Amino acid sequence: MKPRRHIRVAVDIGGTFTDLEFVDEDTGEAHSFKTPTTPDDPSIGLVNTITGAAARHGFALADITLLIHGTTIATNAVLTRNLPRCALITTAGFEDVLEIGRHARRDVYGLRPEERTVLTARRHRYGVAERIGARGEVLAPLDMAALDGVVDRVAEAGADVVAVSLLNGFVNPAHEIAIRERLRERLPQLPCTCSHEVSPEIREFERTSTTVLNALLMPVVQGYVAGLMRRTREAGLAAPIYLVQSNGGAATPVQAGQTPVNLLLSGPSGGVLAAEKVAAVTARRHVVAVDMGGTSYDIAIIRDGRRSVVAQGDVDGLPVRVPMVEMRTIGAGGGSIIWLDPAGRLQLGPQSAGARPGPVCYRRGGVEPTVTDVNLILGRLDAASFLGGELALDLDGARASLQRRIAEPLGLTIDAAASGVLSIVVARLAGAIKLSLFERGLDPRDFALMSFGGAGGLHAVDVAEELGMREVVFPREPSTFSAHGILQSDIVHDLARTRIVALGPANLPQIVAVADELRDEGSALLDADGLPPERRALRLAADLRYRGQAFELMVPIGEGELDEVALADLIERFHQTHLERFSFDDRQEVVELVTLRLSAVGRLAVAAPISGTGGGSRSAPHPKASRAIYLEKRWRDAPVFEQSSLAVGAIIKGPAIVEQPYTTLIINGGWSLTVLASGDLVAAKDDA
């Protein structure tokens, strides 16, 4: 009988492709696989990708010991507004918090009010008489008779879900719990979310927005998870399944269904996690990690070897107050559509051709030219070897589309139109990176660019040139790099307690008591996950501000005990962080604690170390062919190398093309590419 293998699998479902990476836990051998996403039901594409990888690499689905999955199901539901009807129950008099929002304005000189997205209509927002004070004291009891009237109105309105967010419910959740229990008695079939369970923090607008989003996403994610579990079991996969959260950690399907708002940056967070690890392996302390897939371009800053985690993000203008990896996303990927606005100006995205129909060159019905079509026209992609030869590209179709929709209206040749598009792509990508760095007072020249995603290698060196960067790091498997990061995810539970106190020795006992409460709660959650003590970590962080400020900065504390020495160090690091972020600090001002946070981490069984590639000959790299490519404003011949043929230490002088089964790297003239011992590659600008 053939011995059973032990396979750990990670899958990242993107807008265009579904990426998979797996590792044989017995040998450390790792492989990647890629298939088109199935937008109507992404779980179909997930199962197709797993079965395809199993057939190619000779393992059975019964050999899979763990599946970790990144998904865009929650994000897509918000962006498309494919959401159920939600009722909001709040403190009487605060029904319009979502509509009032904050006074921040994007256009400070605009004469008209800015449109605000409100996901719960006014007629579905209900106030109930009650009041909890800022310290948790009951100022007015919950009016149960009035509550029963509200429940009747919720039932009559035909709500699909209910969100409960009371003023100061994060300090004392007694009234929120009572409302939830009455809803369960009267309307047991109705999913309900309470703010103290999802975002137990100060600021009622952001907390209410997050609670409503969570309620709206519960049926979406729970339905998806149920279908996913059914399909995987039918296919013969019985392994535990985890879903990746916005903080880079994993959650069980049940947990994901209860707090789906934590999935809003599920896939991209895996890439940032992997980028942090590759930055350490390649000894690059300051890195801009960029993920260019088929639909979007995601940017994250890794400084001093650490990614940044923030307490609040934004999804399509909606505040989401849960911990998440800090990143900026723009609609610029390989499938981004190129079009002309009414003034005849060339535009890029944010619309994408997606997986269906996809770029014109995919031969799946696409008619509008995309960035991928332009790269094919300019010789930067090989029509015969795309996706390892599994998808032959239509060069003539791509040229005809660009000619008809762009070149002819602008009076340009095909080459000039395609070159213009390429310039816009580079400017758009570089501009987004500049904004991410400049708003922190950082200089691009102090950073290396780490490029991954299926389309990233086609533009990375051009973007680095535009920014004045001198190094580009390409991970070993850039096309499925987010899946690689997901493969190494751990279980993470994020907890928080808002306690506004001055950060000083006098308040240390109070702060320690809150920290102990969080540790106890985190330990209980890890107990439920069945994780032994040696595979746990309880990491504290604090949201801090100067007294009188209306915003905070999150500063890590770590796993150590909180004493006066640790408190002094925390205050000093806050001053330093404030100076770095805003170019000033005030050491005479009182530092306040606003929210104490805890990440309860449960380390999943660690796979064997993944060996690098670089198995080729140690002689001088030998190209497999040459190809005409439009590079540096002109056509020229460039050698084409297979990455699998490159040995550790191999050096390639640009201009050159390096191909992998699922992506292509373009190396400009004046740059050299070196294969590191880890299997990662570094392109460096040659000294003048």
* Domain CATH code at residue 513: 3.30.1490
Which secondary structure element, helix H or strand E, spans residue 234, and what is its range?
helix 204-235
Claim to verify: residue 586 and residue 658 sit in the same structural domain: no
In this structure, is residue 67 part of a structural domain? yes
Claim to verify: residue 507 and residue 598 sit in the same structural domain: yes
C-alpha distances in angstroms, 129 versus 132, 147, 201, 576, 586?
Answer: 11, 8, 22, 45, 43
**Range of weakest confidence among 275-289, 356-370, 380-394:** 380-394
Claim to verify: residue 505 and residue 583 sit in the same structural domain: yes
Claim to verify: residue 654 and residue 585 sit in the same structural domain: no
- Cα Dmax for the chain: 84
Claim to verify: residue 523 and residue 562 sit in the same structural domain: yes
Claim to verify: residue 587 and residue 529 sit in the same structural domain: yes
Host domain of residue 672: 625-685
Claim to verify: residue 534 and residue 593 sit in the same structural domain: yes
- Which band of pLDDT confidence, cut at 50, 70 and 90, is reported for residue 107? confident
Other beta carbons within 10 Å of 620: 9
Of 242, 263, 284, which marks where a domain is finished?
A: 263
In this structure, is residue 22 part of a structural domain? yes
Report the distance separating Cα 404 and Cα 422, nearest Å.
18
**CATH number of the domain bearing residue 242:** 3.30.420.40
Claim to verify: residue 629 and residue 598 sit in the same structural domain: no
Q: What percent of the chain has pLDDT over 90?
A: 60
The domain tally of the chain equals: 3
Claim to verify: residue 594 and residue 637 sit in the same structural domain: no
So what's the pLDDT on residue 571? Answer: 95
- Which band of pLDDT confidence, cut at 50, 70 and 90, is reported for residue 530? confident
In this structure, is residue 667 part of a structural domain? yes
- Which band of pLDDT confidence, cut at 50, 70 and 90, is reported for residue 2? low
In this structure, is residue 383 part of a structural domain? no
In this structure, is residue 387 part of a structural domain? no
Claim to verify: residue 635 and residue 588 sit in the same structural domain: no
In this structure, is residue 253 part of a structural domain? yes
Of 571, 587, 602, which marks where a domain is finished?
A: 602
Contact 631, 638 (CB under 8 A): yes
Of 233, 263, 293, which marks where a domain is finished?
A: 263
- Mean pLDDT score of the chain: 89
Give tens-digit pLDDT for 420-434. 999 999 999 999 999
Amino acid at 392: A
pLDDT at 540 exceeding the cut of 90 = yes
In this structure, is residue 539 part of a structural domain? yes
Claim to verify: residue 504 and residue 591 sit in the same structural domain: yes
So what's the pLDDT on residue 325? Answer: 85
Contact 427, 466 (CB under 8 A): yes
Give tens-digit pLDDT for 413-464. 999 999 999 999 999 999 999 999 988 888 999 999 999 988 899 999 999 9
In the chain, the N- to C-terminal Cα span, in Å, equals: 62
- pTM assigned to the model: 0.83
Claim to verify: residue 30 and residue 67 sit in the same structural domain: yes
Contact 434, 447 (CB under 8 A): no
In this structure, is residue 29 part of a structural domain? yes
Name the DSSP class of 370: B
Give tens-digit pLDDT for 650-665. 999 989 999 988 899 9
Report the distance separating Cα 390 and Cα 165, nearest Å.
51
For residue 486, the number of C-alpha atoms closer than 13 Å in the C-beta half-sphere is 33
Which secondary structure element, helix H or strand E, spans residue 183, and what is its range?
helix 174-186
Give tens-digit pLDDT for 548-583. 998 899 999 988 888 999 999 999 999 999 998 888
Report the distance separating Cα 304 and Cα 291, nearest Å.
20
